[in-house]
Amino acid sequence: MNDDTPRAIDLDSVDHVLTTTRSVRLRLDFERPVPNAMIKDALRIALQAPTGANTQTWRFMVVTDAAKRRAIAEYYRLAATDYVAGKTGLSRTGVTMMREYQEADPRQQQREAMMKSGGYLMENLERAPVMLIPCIEGRFENDDVFTQASMWGSILPATWSLMLALRARRLASAWTTLHLRYEKEVSALLGIPDTYTQAALLPVAWLTGGDLKPAKRLAVEEVSCWDHWQGREPGA
């Protein structure tokens, strides 16, 4: 077979990984070590993600030292207190677990479970055997939308690919950002240069229990627009 021949893709397996990669908080195995080789394998997959102008100016901080994990967890808990008290900028955007929805809305139905799992992770974060912090070179918080989108677009796809690769290896992770309230302090702790921006914090551990399932989401028709913000699918 010619090496250039397109390989058949098992859509069922691909779709399963894509639809069941969750932010796992309650089912992290805090007792079982995660081999460095598996983290590196997942990172190799992540490095195939898009990167603006092919600059590849990303860095991935792997934190396994117990004392540093405890220190990061303390910053995370401080930020969580601010978040619950409505003291972060997310309160202005409405991106908060405190937001109320209609009773039939799947987001409202899942709210209590999210609060429970979020609290559990907050209390136990340092127990995760590995923490991953994706970073991108540059500081762009004061730049225009084009610049910010280009910079975030050079690290967030790789972060999601990393979570998918971990999931495919039966490792669980959770996309968190609370520690960024104390980004400078965490950078100082880990020696991250102040010319780099941290994008997230992924606690990583083996998944406990059975398989994961797709989450309840809003219908595609509720969140998709065709040709105009008020536009509907042609012919629908």
Q: What are the CA-CA distances from residue 203 to residues 16, 171, 206, 224 (Å)? A: 22, 10, 10, 32
- The reply to whether 5 falls in a domain is no
- The reply to whether 4 falls in a domain is no
First CA to last CA across the chain, in angstroms?
43
Domain that holds residue 94: 25-223
- The reply to whether 41 falls in a domain is yes
pLDDT of residue 84: 75
Tally of CA atoms within 13 A in the half-sphere of 93 that contains its CB:
7
- The reply to whether 169 falls in a domain is yes
- For each of the chain's 236 residues, which pLDDT tens digit applies? 467 888 899 999 999 999 999 999 999 999 999 999 999 999 999 999 999 999 999 999 999 999 999 999 999 999 998 887 776 766 566 555 556 667 667 666 566 667 778 889 999 999 999 999 999 999 999 999 999 999 999 999 999 999 999 999 999 999 999 999 999 999 999 999 999 999 999 999 999 999 999 988 889 999 999 999 999 999 98
Distance CA 101, CA 94 (A): 11
Distance CA 205, CA 48 (A): 23
Taking every pair of Cα atoms in the chain, the longest distance, rounded to a whole number of angstroms, is 61
Q: How many domains does the chain have?
A: 1
Sole residue written with tokens 């989450």: 215
- The reply to whether 39 falls in a domain is yes
- The reply to whether 176 falls in a domain is yes
Q: What does the CA dihedral 202, 20, 97, 42 come to, rounded to 10 degrees?
A: 10
pLDDT of residue 164: 98
- The reply to whether 86 falls in a domain is yes
- The reply to whether 232 falls in a domain is no
The SS3 call for residue 236 is: coil
Sole residue written with tokens 């202005």: 92
pLDDT of residue 3: 73
Residues in the chain: 236
List the CATH number of the domain containing 60. Answer: 3.40.109.10
pTM of the model: 0.89
Answer for the pair 46, 162: CB distance below 8 angstroms, yes or no: yes
Distance CA 150, CA 155 (A): 9
